[in-house]
Amino acid sequence: MWLPAVAGAGQLDQFEELDAQMYDLHGAFVEAQWMATHGPPAAGSKATIDRRPDTLAKMDSLVTKSFGKTDGEEIATRTLFWAFTIDAADLPKRFRAFVDRYPDGAQMEGALQHIELGDVAADEPGVWVDALRALARTTKSKALRHTAQFATGHVQMRFVGLKEARATLVQLQKDAAETEIAKRAKGFVHEIDHLQVGMVAPDFTTTATDGKKVSLSSLRGKVVLLDYWATW
């Protein structure tokens, strides 16, 4: 979760109760899903009612009531987390509302990571792109603006089009020159320009197991298997 639980009063206390309820409901839902697939048929068929959306709707009500107040951003952020978790149908619009309310939110970076690394943007990618562009326009944080631009390019690469993604990422390289995120953008541009299916692979030279140097171009006309591996 992006934010830790913080003691508070009023609406935050109400939210904490809903949050605890959602944890219980989600745990029961996941268990029921697992039992339906792996457990005895009778065990998996009993827990079929999903009450999580009802609890999410109550959280949404608190998000509206708490907007502009001390705990508003925390309630909105944690509600958005649950929307990501339970895969709400209107998730893209939820994110856009979150951007409009808290463009400089302390936890916006965490929300962008979910978009960048997950498949959530496959649903209505145009809405996601519009929201990310709105964030880039309105946030006062230069770092957050660049992160939003990068997330936009990533969404476009996966779900919109390479031409659109390339334009976004090239602009980011200019806007965020000499930064780590500009280097990442450059890597994606290289992938767009040189590593698409059907393109000739870029040449490189490596050391074979016998200690001799071998280049990819020297193997032209032969079947080549590249085996990449790494440890962390």
- For residues 143, 70, 52, 97, the Cα torsion angle rounded to the nearest 10 degrees is -50
- State the CATH architecture for 89-200: Alpha Horseshoe (1.25)
pTM tops 0.75 = yes
Which amino acid is present at 17?
Answer: E
Both tokens of 79, joined, read 């509600």
| pLDDT above 90 as % of the chain | 64
Burial-class residue 181 by CB neighbours within 10 Å (0-12, 13-18, 19+). Answer: middle
Q: Give domain limits for the chain.
A: 6-66, 89-200
Predicted confidence (pLDDT) per residue in 118-138, tens digit: 788 888 899 999 999 999 999
- Residue-level pLDDT at 9: 54
- Helix, strand or coil, per DSSP, at residue 99: helix
| pLDDT above 70 as % of the chain | 91
Q: Which residues of 144-174 are buried (b: 16+ CB within 10 A; e: fewer)?
A: bbbbbbbbbbbbbbebbeeeebbebbbebbe
